[in-house]
Amino acid sequence: MNAEIDATSEKFLRGKYAIVGVGETPYTRGSGTTTRALGTYAVRRAVEDAGLGMDDIDGMLSYSGNDSIPSTAVAGDLGIRLNFYMDVMGGGSSTEALIGIAMGVIEAGMCKTVVIFRSMNGYSQIRIGGTGRGSGASNLSGDGLFGRAYGQSSAAQAFAQTFMRHMYDYGTTPEQIAHVKAIHSEHASNNPKAYYKHRVTVDDVLSSRMIVKPLHLLDCCVETDNATAIVVTRMDRARDCKHMPATILSVVGRCCKPRIDNHYQAGPISTVAGHYAKEILWPNAGVGPDDIDLTGSYDAFTFTTMLQLEDYGFCEKGDGGEYVSSGIMRLGGARPNNTSGGHLCEGYTHGMNMVIENVRQLRGEIDDSCPIDANGKRQHTYDYSNGGCRQVRDPEITANLGWAMPGTGSALVMAKGER
């Protein structure tokens, strides 16, 4: 662990808040329903998972890119009377940022318990690549003159230069990066919820068609319809909830590189926001990368997982390709990553499903295919072969790394139970 990290004194709200409930809809293509109904379903599941009633919830946060419904609709449908709500613009990096906001508003006495949700028909209605927004002959004005005028509109088109430059700067290879998808697909094969459950190989990734070089089709995440939700509350209330709390040690929200939107003007573009975020994340958590048992990373693309793990210090700068292809992040490895299959395989909900996965990992109650005993408790086999277990053995501390774009990131460190 980094000697500069202060683990001896409590910092900020370290250990004082927890995630006590998580819930989601199935990950589908063609939900056949509205984002309002999806959001309501996920929020209800998360509140029930916490062992709380709707009367216990008085705060709500959501995020979207004009592709969802506001908190007021979901709260109204569920009979929740709110003392606080806010609907925030944004996609990736929002989950962790909103967890921090929830802690802040509770600490300020504005409300007691907050549900955060993300609801989207990301396949059947508005797709991230831009389809579904009524495109056609688009008007170029303002920022569009510097992007869409050059056929640069999707995330793959916007991030490709960062990925390519990393290959140039550090010799990162397509084969190394393809391991991210192969490993996440192994994990997804043990996740009954995952949209893509079949295992793919490095060769499958490399032989899939090119989307935006250096990204093959299988370097890109899945688009799905789904909603996800989590419940955040203070530790004194968390103790009374149904499950062991996933205690929040540290959170970073939308930490940015210089120039933010025009981040490619500043510094080497093969360095991403995690380089800055880690200076907040680790000291506030009182732990360092070596203390983390498993990670959840924003895998909109294979490359985003590599860049984040590298810039948060899980390996030396430039060694990300070697790290992700070493086997360390495979189930059974020293520090598994995205045990649900993440955005590449499980489903796409702008970061929240990887937080949900780590909460369940910390509880020791991952929903895999292992047998359930007479007491209703799942008996994990730790056999990670196809269709088997995906529970990590006795995880104590997790890290989630959120990504909006190369210039903006968020992060979260959680621990098992009260500290």
CB of 149 to other proteins, least distance (A): 6
Is residue 268 involved in binding other proteins (CB under 8 A)? yes
State the minimum distance, in angstroms, from the CB of residue 140 to other proteins. Answer: 5
Residues near other proteins (CB under 8 A), total: 50
- Binding part of the chain for other proteins, among 70-78, 113-121, 142-150, 329-337 by CB under 8 A, reads 142-150
Terminal alpha carbon distance of the chain: 19
Cβ-contact 360, 22 below 8 angstroms:
yes
Residue in 1, 110, 266, 334 binding other proteins, rule: CB under 8 A: 266
Residue 131 interacts with other proteins (CB under 8 A): yes or no: yes
| Closest CB to other proteins among residues 167, 328 | 167
Residue 170 among the catalytic residues:
no
- For residues 154 and 369, which CB has a smaller minimum distance to other proteins in the complex? 154
Spacing of C-alpha 110 from chain mean position: 27
Q: Is residue 41 annotated as part of the catalytic site, yes or no?
A: no
Judge contact between 190 and 389, C-beta under 8 A.
yes
Is there binding between residue 385 and other proteins (CB under 8 A)?
no
Site membership for other proteins, residue 165 (CB under 8 A): yes
Looking at 41, 312, 348, 384, which residue is catalytic?
348
* Structure-block tokens of residue 226: 């789904």
Residue from 6, 107, 150, 327 binding other proteins (CB under 8 A) = 150
Task: Give the one residue of 32, 109, 134, 142 binding other proteins; rule: CB under 8 A.
Answer: 142
Q: Please give the Cα distance from 229 to 352 (Å, whole number).
A: 8
The least distance separating other proteins from the CB of residue 141, rounded to whole angstroms, comes to: 5
Residue 147 makes contact with other proteins by CB under 8 A = yes
The separation between CA 189 and the C-alpha centre of its own chain, rounded to angstroms, equals: 19
Q: 258 phi and psi, to 5 degrees?
A: -60, 150
CB 2 within 8 A of CB 321: no
**Region of 28-36, 49-57, 133-141, 294-302 interacting with other proteins (CB under 8 A):** 133-141
Peptide bond into 214 cis (omega under 30): yes
Residue with smaller CB distance to other proteins, 12 or 264? 264
Interface characters, 196-215, with other proteins (x: CB under 8 A) = -------------xxxxxx-
Question: DSSP string spanning 332-401?
Answer: TSSS-B-TT-HHHHT--STTHHHHHHHHHHHHT---SSPPB-TTS-B------STTS----SS--EEEEE
How is residue 345 written in tokens? 């395989």
DSSP assigned state of 80 = P
Half-sphere exposure of 62 (CA within 13 A, CB side): 27
List the one residue from 168, 236, 371, 394 that touches other proteins (CB under 8 A).
168
Closer residue to other proteins in complex, CB, 222/414: 222
Closer of 162 and 305 to other proteins (Cβ)? 162
Determine, following the binding rule CB under 8 A, whether residue 157 of this chain makes contact with other proteins. yes
Check residue 130 for interaction with other proteins (CB under 8 A).
Answer: yes
Contact between residue 383 and residue 371 where contact means Cβ atoms under 8 Å apart: no
- Interface residue with other proteins among 198, 259, 377, 393 (CB under 8 A) is 259
Which residues lie below 8 Å from residue 236, measured CB to CB, with a gap of 6+?
none
Provide the Cα torsion 261, 265, 269, 272; round to 10°. Answer: -40
Asked whether position 135 contacts other proteins by CB under 8 A, the answer is yes
Q: Which of 298, 312, 323, 384 is catalytic?
A: 298
Q: How far apart are alpha carbons 274 and 298 in whole angstroms?
A: 12
C-alpha 58/C-alpha 106 separation (Å) is 10
Using the minimum distance from each CB to other proteins, give the nearer residue, 76 or 318.
318
Q: Which is nearer to other proteins, 192 or 268 (CB)?
A: 268
Smaller CB separation from other proteins, 267 or 333: 267
Q: Which residues bind other proteins (CB under 8 A)?
A: 129-131, 135-143, 145-154, 156-157, 159-165, 167-168, 173-174, 209-214, 258-259, 262, 264-269
- Give me the active site residues, please: 298, 348
